[in-house]
Structure 1
Amino acid sequence: MKYIKSIFLALLVLFTIWSCKQNEIKATEPEFKVAFEKFTLDNGLQVILHVDKSDPVAAVALTAHVGSAREKEGRTGFAHLFEHLLFLESENLGKGGLDQMSARIGGSGANGSTSRDRTNYFQTVPKDALEKMIWAEADKLGYFINTVTEPVLAKEKQVVKNEKRQRVDNQPYGFNAGVINSNLYPEGHPYSWEVIGSLEDLQNATLDDVKEFYKRWYVPNNVTLTIAGDIDVTQTKAWVKKYFDEIPKGEAIPAMEKQPVTLKWSKRLFYEDNFARAPRLTMTWPTVYEYHPDTYALTVLSQYLTEGKKAPLYKVLVENQQLTSNVRMYQYSSEIAGQLMLNITAFDQTNLNTVANGINEGFKEFELNGISETDLNRIKAGQETEFYSGLSSVLGKGFQLAQYEIFAGDPGFINQDVKNILAVTPEDVMRVYNTYIKDQNFIATSFVPKGQTDLILEDSQLATVVEEEIIEGAEDTFDASLAAEYEKTPSSFDRSVEPAYGKSPDLVIPTVWKRDLDSGIKVLGIENTEVPLVEFEIEIKGGLLLEDIDNVGVSNLMANLMTKGTKNKTPEALENAIESLGAQIYSYATDNSVTISGTTLAKHFDDTMALVTEILLEPRWDEDEFNLLKQSTISRIQRQKANPNSIADNEFSKLIYGENNILAYDNNGTEASVNAITISDLQDFYATKLTPKLTNVHVVGSISENQVITALETINTTWASKPVEIPEVPQAITPETSKVYFYDVPGAKQSVITFGHPSLKATDADYYAATVMNYRLGGGSFASQLTQELREAKGYTYGIRSRFDGDSNAGEFSISSSVRTNVTYESTALVKEILENYGTNYNESDLEITKGFTLKSSARAFETLGSKLNMLSNISNYGYADDYAKQRQKVVKDLSVDAIKALAEKYIKPHQMIYVIVGDAETQLDKLKALGFGDAVLLNADNTELNKIKDE
């Protein structure tokens, strides 16, 4: 997949299901429906249209009913490979394909995802570009395969292999899913291999293999086209027929036969993970395919067993035995089979046999007590809120409709889904437990840190894991600049002519209301009635900025503890009260604030805010919960020490800010600081650092200004104001000369790179202009030079970006990526070269593309509740005008090539930059001297743990 996880679709469908049940339960309320119109072209293409005129945008999704399950053994990974290939080029879009067009039309970015059973391609665009998108999607489906050549295939193989290294090989527990699926499903079963495929299969794929796969599965009669948004149905139909009608129908596509599995015996497997710093136990039971009647009760069962204070497994493993901070269980249903998965990452040095015993104890409690009607209803209560959240974008609505069409045969299957959910009873939940878990065989995997096999589940066998050996110069070379030569596919009209834009939509700025309360609280809101939801945040300035450098972690622990009960509600009682409203309430700390945020149905806003009031004004300070939080925080800190991305971020912060700047520290703290923190430290921070005078409240949704102010009355009149001064952060100093720093992770399959220097704050005059300047450098994804050179031209990486990241206190410019280990120096040198030449080489074409994207994409700026909430945060935190989006349009329009060159020269400093690299020092460290910045500094030369791993 390009950037989105394929499980998102499955979750969205679950949100749909849950919501519909709640709607049917509330018979007095009007049923919420997503209206649609469906038609089929003569070639078999299924088309679904949905009208939503709330924003001037349209979402187009092309979904092919082909995933990894349609592949052949020995030729795995093809479905995912095609997800990549289809963005690159087609006969009439030319080289750069849809990615290049997206930059011009202001789209959200052409994207896609691949699952076991389907591959989709999607994008949200301003409505004036809808015909262009339909033209482009048709070109991918009917006029693409001729453009795939040997160099194109060779390059994209490298990109996909980099993705696998980044997501699997270079991640803690990355091989776990592969071990589970290859043992749960028998050899030859379509789910026995991973969606991304094997590196060997990808390397062995030939051009003929690829073309055969495309011609078999990428045909109109195996594809669903969904278009949702501000559309004219008659015109949209005409465009669809014009561009798709003459694409020939393919051979008949056979239905996938259901292939459930059974296990003759339980399998216990283990693996010593190079990146793990805590043992993880995963148990998997074979269950049922998607939309099987039992999926509904299995979903309830998994949630009841693990989520919340009343959950049997949570009570045993987290609260009573304190073996872990989190228990996760979920039903994973796919088209032809399914599996129930229980995942527990234990605390450091915890024996997984003890965890397994705790699981059995929790199961016994469930067997004894079952689930009550009250708890069944409690579990369902929050899903209506989730459902509406999933429908807050036109793309979400399109996904939902396509899912039902492909896997249930009808977008209207939602009505049957509702009936199935409504039929779930406590007896059903106990029945599926007895059918699929009790006394049933399972797969158990123990993933443990290197050298800690004493922690694995007893009777476990070593898992088969194929680890890639990174060899210098082993990859195929290719010339990505070569143009494909082919005879164009005939058409009844000239498809090379890109359709014109429609009428350009105006930028509509949401109306903002503001109130200053007597306590000093500033309230900003946007009323929006598109869905019956409200999103809110109470943001109290301070956070890490108000902490002592010698005692970091207090604000994080305090914020997390605030939702663990109130003066008059135990932690369990508070949790039940929130869930009974179908609400979500979070409390967390950042570098700049302590925030209480949440989502609720509009009809429950008052009740939700009453609970927020208790959380804010009457914290419980529960000692047991405090101890659990400390333990889980320490465990998280320990795991971060082995995660290359976390290492890079933390080391970069230390180097850019210096040891005397609080911003150099992760707000989780260190193992030592968290161990030293007492509950009185939290109480003191609460009493002395939180004040309404530094508080902004942001509210967006189907709620009026007066309702919001009324709901805040108790907070306004009861919360005592106190003077709190936020200290001025020391200025980060830009290095006089660049320096390379290396953190050794022996055996790393990729090097994580983070380069940068101090830069603009969000409140600085040039901040927005600098972000626009960065678009063609590394902020524009496939429109950026960094992506085009390191991914598309060289195949060094799966993705790379540059950005300006500032707030009201500090700012930095940074570049980040994960690159193949054996091109660490080459990647770094190429980034340096691009930075050196960016301003000099910037031209009118770059400016035109930048302006086109930036101006046109503003139509999508405030589509969702989340984007509106972010708008309020920008206004209150940085002093932006209410119409700052329109002011920014003027900034963009006024930019010239010379202005961009000046910005690049002033704010991009490749020779005054900190270069942080996390990778394999033995093979890569010495090469970096060739950059011209002297010897690289080894940051963890004395890290005995890593050196021990290396010696082994």
Structure 2
Amino acid sequence: MTRWLLVAAVSAALAGCAAEQLPQQVGATAAAQLPAGVTLVETYTPKAGEIGIPYRKYRLANGLTVLLHEDHSDPLVKVDITYHVGSDRELPGRTGFAHLFEHMMFQGSEHVADEQHFKVVTEAGGELNGTTNSDRTNYFETVPSNQLEKMLWLESDRMGYLLPALTEQKFEVQRATVKNERAQRIDNRPYGRMNERFEQAFYPVGHPYSWPVIGWPEDLDRTTAQDVKDFFRRWYGPNNATLTIGGDIDVNQTLTWVNKYFSDIPRGPDVTPLAKPLVTLDKTRYVSMEDNIHLPLIQIGFPTVYARHKDEAPLDLLANILGGGKTSILYKNLVKDGYAVQAGASHPCQELSCKLTVYALANPAKGSALAPIEKLIRQSIDEFETRGVTDEDLQKVKIQFRAHSIFSLQSVSGKVSSLAANQTFTGNPNQIGNDLARYDAVTKDDVMRVFREYVRGKPSVVISVVPKGGEALVAAADNFTPTKPAIADKAVMGLSAAALPEHSSFDRNVMPLAAKAPVLKVPELWDAKLTDHIAIMGTQSTETPTTELIVYLNGGHRLEPLNKSGLAALTADMLNESSAKRSSEDLAQALELLGSSVSFSASDYQSVIRVTSLTENLDKTIAIVKERLLEPGFKDTDFNRVKQQTLQTLQHMASDPNYLANEGFSKLLFGSDNSLGISSGGTLQTVAGITLADVKAFYAEQYRAGNAQMVTVTDLPEAQLLAKLQPLTAWQGTAMPLPAAGSLPESHPGVVFLIDKPGAAQSVISIGKRALPYDATGDFFKTYLMNYPLGGAFNSRINLNLREDKGYTYGARSFFAGGSELGYFEATASVRTDVTDKALAEFMKEISHYYANGMTPDEQAFMRASISQGKALDYETPYQKAGFIRMIQKYQLPHDFTAEQDKIIAQISIEQLNQLAKQWLDPASMQMLVVGDKSKIEAGLQALGYKVVNLPL
């Protein structure tokens, strides 16, 4: 995805026009009503027809910036606190602090007990997390709106009173957790270490981006608890933070609470911006690495500017032309012709630096060597100068950026994140208008100028990632070796004697009570028939002028023959290609010019068509849906390319331990004679046997109107929406019955099945059994309630044991999953290789104890509060609403089925829940699978007393 799309999609509505100051009289009145020490900085309300996020901006005397955004469309509120500190504030040899602190901030503070932060938010029905990148760290909670004061109590306590609760033991546990996260997300993932190697070659020695955000392992090892405390004192003051609150709030009451909880926290040391010198290279640097992969990868990066530089926008457009999808030069020259399975270009930007990157995954069917791929990439870059920039290139930028800006306004979460990020990095929360204007102003000459200034003939960094033993495949021999910078004497520079909070004006040990619970707003639904065969269910949502339409076709993987597994997915992929009238590139161009998306996919029980459109462009978008659906091209050239890509992707996925675990566990539970035991994506053997004739035959069976149901969320009234869908009434065909389900295998409890993954950095453990199919108010729903304290919440028994107490994993969980015919129970985690046997034993201990004794009354109360209040978060975005509608439609549920669920949650007894544990969690019935390095883990598993059996895939 190019930078200009990424900004819009991830940073939400990057707002524009300078904020409007309050009229003097209104401003004076408002200022007089403000709490002491609070200043109103500005207020902004979009003008008619303007895309923007209304907000009020305040500043406390201690320097804390506060942004408030009212949105009463749903009874929820999001609280975000962003600290302007990321890994860029670390020092050489002292890396990983910012990310480690993201973990430490959840471990309790002076007035909040250990693990209480997670418990309080979850019990309130909320969601929470924190993230760290190179430039900032943020923490956020989304909760029912009656829980807001409690969230401010939590956030303020860890801002002002964290250090008294920071113990050596907590530090060691979280250091182990970070190491597990690194092992899971980087070391045990294909290409996981590529960026670290690339950045070392790309940036000068000691540059803040030359080390990974998660830190180097050896740096984490040398870190002390005192280092962590010093890092907190240096960077986590209120004057380096932005508190953003959005949703169903009362502004005056919210500001009063903010002042109460945050005003007595003293400001921290002053923070000055980092310099932004442009990165330069003296020559092209080649680096390479071997990895447990199948597809060789090449990435080329050119240094450019930094975020919000005047050349950022034209560079984004240049990247889009080079490699932004099916209309790009790289797609035409590498993917379309089969030299690469994937290829693309992007222009990712950070606060201090941007880079224009091009990548390609070589297609081994045409050769795995990367030197020819690099040559094709360089030729494609040269081709741009001849091709130039078209009027349509510029038009797409304007339309797509506007569309993504509108889509990003669909959730309070997106709006709050946008306001927070823009305030942090620019001092102006509202950048939508500015961004729309700067992309709208890009000219053809601008794009050609930045191409010549930053790309044409310029030095770059070229990294080759090849399979183990594939050194001969690299693009060129390495000519660069990174220099290790000297280790900084101190972990933190510029630390002054920060003031400690004085005695609070209130008792911080008392957690605020929640206000009266808000009334949940379940969408009002309508039912209709588009034709005699096609039922449609929808709701009107006027928050944004957009339409979400999803077509579900009963069948999917379940409809295809077992020996043709992957046929449903391959057919969907073909429907994303050419029609009988236009090429896939022409169709992609048409959608880009509308700011719309139309995608076909398939899963276990259904094929799906998802349509997302600005309502103003819905007519033209539906015309493309009709063309793709009723007039598919099914061209030999498309089929051969798509099939080859699928085969290579399957072979690539076999290098991922998590994929192997999913496939192996499905096979263990459901066997090879049932579709649920085989991936909906198929296997190398089944996909290899699929022909274009098979695709056409499956299309004829699957894509019938009689198999289809539709759901929609739109700003249009029902009648107007149905009128716009009339072109699809030409769709015909009766329903196709599903074939008989295959037989199920014998279970093998008490046996550990082992899939060997030599060199795996972690082991993936899966424990479980076949269980109930889905139902909304019966025993399946009740097993969800029963499992919640065991493994369904962050502070569940399993996660607290394996992650927080033992430090074995980055996260562990258990759950019941149910389809329309069958379901299963699974407990799973990725764990350190050296504790695979101990982790398995702890899993079984927790399951056994829960089976024998059930949940406690406190756990039952926690479950009730968390799940019942959490429903306030379920229907916010159009896609969430569409998912809710689909459950009603698919399972023929009453529109108010959630009321029955509420009754069950409130009335189900602890005896009923514990009886369900007795029924479904017998440890003697559990099957066990481990994916890991057999040479390192087999003996330990055998020592537990289990028979270990190799499981081939």
Q: Would you call these one fold, judging by a TM-score over 0.5?
A: yes
Instruction: Quote the Cα distance in structure 2 between the aligned partners of 1:315 and 1:570.
Output: 12
Question: Which residue is 1:157 aligned to?
Answer: 175
Contact 1:331/1:338, CA 8 A, preserved across alignment: yes
Per-residue CA deviations over 1:332-358 (Å, capped at 9, x if unaligned) read: 211122222222111234211111111
In the alignment, which of 13, 17, 21 is matched to residue 16 of structure 1?
13
Contact 2:398/2:440, CA 8 A, preserved across alignment: no
Question: Which residue is 2:37 aligned to?
Answer: none
Instruction: Quote the Cα distance in structure 2 between the aligned partners of 1:13 and 1:791.
Output: 29
Deviation of residue 790 (structure 1)? 0.3
2:338 counterpart of 1:325: no
Question: Which residue is 1:907 aligned to?
Answer: 920
2:739 counterpart of 1:727: yes
Say which SS state the counterpart of residue 38 (structure 1) adopts: strand
Instruction: Quote the Cα distance in structure 2 between the aligned partners of 1:464 and 1:807.
Output: 51
2:48 counterpart of 1:35: no
Distance 1:661 1:462, change over 3 A: farther
2:460 counterpart of 1:456: no
5 Å-filtered alignment, 1:469-488, equals: none
Question: Which residue is 1:66 aligned to?
Answer: 85
Instruction: Quote the Cα distance in structure 1 between the aligned partners of 2:15 and 2:692.
Output: 39
Instruction: Quote the Cα distance in structure 2 between the aligned partners of 1:69 and 1:517.
Output: 55
Distance 1:291 1:245, change over 3 A: same
Say which SS state the counterpart of residue 333 (structure 1) adopts: coil
Instruction: Quote the Cα distance in structure 2 between the aligned partners of 1:334 and 1:287.
Output: 11
In the alignment, which of 521, 525, 529 is matched to residue 516 of structure 1?
529
Contact 2:756/2:934, CA 8 A, preserved across alignment: yes
Please say which of residues 574-583 and 149-158 is displaced more in the overlay.
574-583
In the alignment, which of 74, 83, 104 is matched to residue 102 of structure 2?
83
Instruction: Quote the Cα distance in structure 2 between the aligned partners of 1:884 and 1:908.
Output: 27
Question: Which residue is 1:222 aligned to?
Answer: 240
5 Å-filtered alignment, 1:679-828, equals: 679-716=692-729, 718-730=730-742, 732=744, 735=747, 737-763=749-775, 765-781=778-794, 783-828=795-840
2:842 counterpart of 1:830: yes
Contact 2:397/2:439, CA 8 A, preserved across alignment: no
Contact 1:319/1:628, CA 8 A, preserved across alignment: yes
Say which SS state the counterpart of residue 825 (structure 2) adopts: strand
Say which SS state the counterpart of residue 325 (structure 1) adopts: strand
Distance 1:364 1:28, change over 3 A: farther
Question: Which residue is 1:916 aligned to?
Answer: 929
Instruction: Quote the Cα distance in structure 2 between the aligned partners of 1:768 and 1:489.
Output: 49
Deviation of residue 841 (structure 1)? 4.3
Contact 2:539/2:714, CA 8 A, preserved across alignment: yes
AA aligned to 2:357 is: M
Distance 1:789 1:134, change over 3 A: same
Deviation of residue 292 (structure 1)? 0.5
Question: Which residue is 1:113 aligned to?
Answer: 131
Please say which of residues 673-682 and 76-85 is displaced more in the overlay.
673-682
Contact 1:270/1:463, CA 8 A, preserved across alignment: no
**Which structure 1 segments of 5+ residues have no match?**
1-5, 22-26, 467-486, 944-952
Deviation of residue 832 (structure 1)? 0.4
2:352 counterpart of 1:336: yes
Question: Which residue is 1:238 aligned to?
Answer: 256
Instruction: Quote the Cα distance in structure 2 between the aligned partners of 1:20 and 1:744.
Output: 58
Instruction: Quote the Cα distance in structure 2 between the aligned partners of 1:406 and 1:298.
Output: 23
Instruction: Quote the Cα distance in structure 2 between the aligned partners of 1:92 and 1:259.
Output: 43
In the alignment, which of 435, 452, 456 is matched to residue 417 of structure 1?
435
Distance 1:143 1:29, change over 3 A: closer
Instruction: Quote the Cα distance in structure 2 between the aligned partners of 1:115 and 1:14.
Output: 14
Instruction: Quote the Cα distance in structure 2 between the aligned partners of 1:256 and 1:84.
Output: 25
Say which SS state the counterpart of residue 924 (structure 1) adopts: helix
Deviation of residue 502 (structure 1)? 1.4
Say which SS state the counterpart of residue 332 (structure 1) adopts: coil
In the alignment, which of 361, 376, 385 is matched to residue 358 of structure 1?
376
Contact 1:734/1:757, CA 8 A, preserved across alignment: no
Say which SS state the counterpart of residue 544 (structure 1) adopts: helix
Deviation of residue 14 (structure 1)? 5.8
Instruction: Quote the Cα distance in structure 2 between the aligned partners of 1:252 and 1:715.
Output: 62
Question: Which residue is 1:890 aligned to?
Answer: 903
Per-residue CA deviations over 1:21-58 (Å, capped at 9, x if unaligned) read: 9xxxxx99811221110011000000011111100111
2:195 counterpart of 1:195: no
Please say which of residues 347-356 and 65-74 is displaced more in the overlay.
347-356
Instruction: Quote the Cα distance in structure 2 between the aligned partners of 1:7 and 1:832.
Output: 48
Deviation of residue 747 (structure 1)? 1.7
Deviation of residue 490 (structure 1)? 2.9
Instruction: Quote the Cα distance in structure 2 between the aligned partners of 1:860 and 1:686.
Output: 37
2:288 counterpart of 1:291: no
Question: Which residue is 1:936 aligned to?
Answer: 948
Per-residue CA deviations over 1:206-225 (Å, capped at 9, x if unaligned) read: 11101110000010110000
In the alignment, which of 345, 348, 358 is matched to residue 361 of structure 2?
345
Please say which of residues 872-881 and 114-123 is displaced more in the overlay.
872-881
2:294 counterpart of 1:277: yes
In the alignment, which of 75, 78, 82 is matched to residue 56 of structure 1?
75
**Which structure 2 segments of 5+ residues have no match?**
19-45, 485-499
Distance 1:651 1:20, change over 3 A: farther
Question: Which residue is 1:599 aligned to?
Answer: 612
Contact 2:71/2:247, CA 8 A, preserved across alignment: yes
Contact 1:181/1:192, CA 8 A, preserved across alignment: yes
Instruction: Quote the Cα distance in structure 2 between the aligned partners of 1:194 and 1:592.
Output: 41
AA aligned to 2:828 is: S
Deviation of residue 715 (structure 1)? 2.6
Question: Which residue is 2:21 aligned to?
Answer: none
Please say which of residues 232-241 and 665-674 is displaced more in the overlay.
665-674
Distance 1:646 1:590, change over 3 A: same
Deviation of residue 183 (structure 1)? 1.2
Instruction: Quote the Cα distance in structure 1 between the aligned partners of 2:327 and 2:344.
Output: 14
Instruction: Quote the Cα distance in structure 2 between the aligned partners of 1:900 and 1:777.
Output: 12
Instruction: Quote the Cα distance in structure 1 between the aligned partners of 2:818 and 2:512.
Output: 39
AA aligned to 2:118 is: D
Deviation of residue 374 (structure 1)? 1.5
Deviation of residue 200 (structure 1)? 1.3
Contact 2:322/2:329, CA 8 A, preserved across alignment: yes
Contact 2:398/2:436, CA 8 A, preserved across alignment: no
Please say which of residues 411-420 and 92-101 is displaced more in the overlay.
411-420
What percent identity do the matched residue pairs reach? Answer: 36
CA RMSD across the alignment: 2.2
2:100 counterpart of 1:103: no
Contact 2:707/2:734, CA 8 A, preserved across alignment: no
Contact 1:581/1:604, CA 8 A, preserved across alignment: yes
Contact 1:281/1:345, CA 8 A, preserved across alignment: yes
Question: Which residue is 1:46 aligned to?
Answer: 65
Contact 1:533/1:701, CA 8 A, preserved across alignment: yes
Contact 1:179/1:463, CA 8 A, preserved across alignment: no
2:159 counterpart of 1:141: yes
Instruction: Quote the Cα distance in structure 1 between the aligned partners of 2:731 and 2:369.
Output: 46
Deviation of residue 113 (structure 1)? 0.5
Instruction: Quote the Cα distance in structure 2 between the aligned partners of 1:548 and 1:384.
Output: 44
Contact 1:45/1:220, CA 8 A, preserved across alignment: yes
Please say which of residues 700-709 and 844-853 is displaced more in the overlay.
700-709
Question: Which residue is 2:25 aligned to?
Answer: none
Distance 1:234 1:508, change over 3 A: same
Say which SS state the counterpart of residue 636 (structure 1) adopts: helix
Instruction: Quote the Cα distance in structure 1 between the aligned partners of 2:861 and 2:414.
Output: 31
Please say which of residues 78-87 and 689-698 is displaced more in the overlay.
689-698
5 Å-filtered alignment, 1:379-418, equals: 379-418=397-436
Instruction: Quote the Cα distance in structure 2 between the aligned partners of 1:689 and 1:20.
Output: 49
Question: Which residue is 1:166 aligned to?
Answer: 184
AA aligned to 2:911 is: D
Please say which of residues 915-924 and 880-889 is displaced more in the overlay.
880-889
Deviation of residue 807 (structure 1)? 1.5
Contact 1:38/1:48, CA 8 A, preserved across alignment: yes
AA aligned to 2:757 is: V
Per-residue CA deviations over 1:599-627 (Å, capped at 9, x if unaligned) read: 11111122211211111111111221111
Instruction: Quote the Cα distance in structure 1 between the aligned partners of 2:931 and 2:166.
Output: 35
Per-residue CA deviations over 1:728-750 (Å, capped at 9, x if unaligned) read: 42464572633211111112110
Instruction: Quote the Cα distance in structure 1 between the aligned partners of 2:440 and 2:15.
Output: 9
Question: Which residue is 1:476 aligned to?
Answer: none
AA aligned to 2:295 is: A
